[in-house]
Amino acid sequence: MSDAFSGAMARLRSGVGGPQQLSEPFLDVLPVTGAAVSTLGDLLGSETLSATDDRAARLDELQFDLGEGPCWDALRSSRPVLEPDVNHPQIFWPAFSPALREHQVRSIFAFPLQVGSLRIGAIDLYSLEPVTLHETHARQATAMADVIGRKVLRDALAAVDVDEHPVSAYSRRLIHQATGMVLAQLELSADDARLVIHGHAFAVGTTMEEVAQDVLDGRLSFAKGDAGIEAIG
């Protein structure tokens, strides 16, 4: 593990430095010019949370407006989008591709932000020179995106009332038991398993207690599929 990557992960996990710290660590680790972190879609809305420069922010804004581009592809597929040469004739973003050329972008990459079955946004990375992200780079960017995804969802949930702190011992017991089942299903930490339950409650407009009861009764489960973690039930 490189010192740069270890340092970037420590910065992201610390949460110190405000929104800008979400995008800047990518420049320390990867051979890219700029980075942006955004939420996408109906769950949290489409918004740039952090960008290293004006070009990165503008590329995000164009994708929001056009409804196409690597961040949307990464979100919908739950997979990284790696385009080392945006002039490749097989790239099919009819409206967004001309904007890449206008902004002199030569390579662009996107990594999904997701927690459990919730797809909440994407990391966009670009380079003004043709570059390739190798397998190690992709693993590092994915690990960084995982940390950011959990932080973004926690911040969003903290801003709304989604039964974060059930008042009865019965509710706490249900959620504790369901957390144990989800962490076993997904091989997550207890904190992340609870975040999956909390996030699912937020997404479907119910309480954590109701989601926990569905998990315990077998009406709802979570599994790792080809497109990431999926809710079944």
Query: How do the pLDDT tens digits run along the chain, 233 residues long?
Result: 579 999 999 999 887 777 778 999 999 999 999 999 999 988 788 999 999 999 999 999 999 999 999 999 999 999 999 999 998 766 779 999 998 989 999 999 999 998 877 889 999 999 999 999 999 999 999 999 999 998 998 888 877 655 555 556 667 788 888 888 888 877 777 888 888 888 888 888 888 888 888 888 888 887 776 555 567 76
CA distance 160 to 55: 32
Burial of 6 (0-12, 13-18, 19+ CB in 10 A): exposed
Range(s) within the chain of domains with CATH label 1.10.10.10: 169-232
SS3 98: helix
CA distance 218 to 225: 18
pLDDT of residue 220: 87
Query: Cα dihedral sign for 82, 88, 94, 99?
Result: positive
pLDDT of residue 169: 66
Q: Can you name the residues that pair with 228 across neighbouring β-strands?
A: 225
Query: Cα dihedral sign for 210, 215, 220, 226?
Result: positive
Q: What is the CATH number of domain 3-158?
A: 3.30.450.40
Q: pTM, whole model, 2 decimals?
A: 0.78
CA distance 185 to 169: 24
pLDDT of residue 160: 64
pLDDT of residue 69: 95
Level-2 CATH architecture, domain 169-232:
Orthogonal Bundle (1.10)
Transcribe 104-147 into DSSP letters.
T--EEEEEEEEETTEEEEEEEEEESS-----HHHHHHHHHHHHH
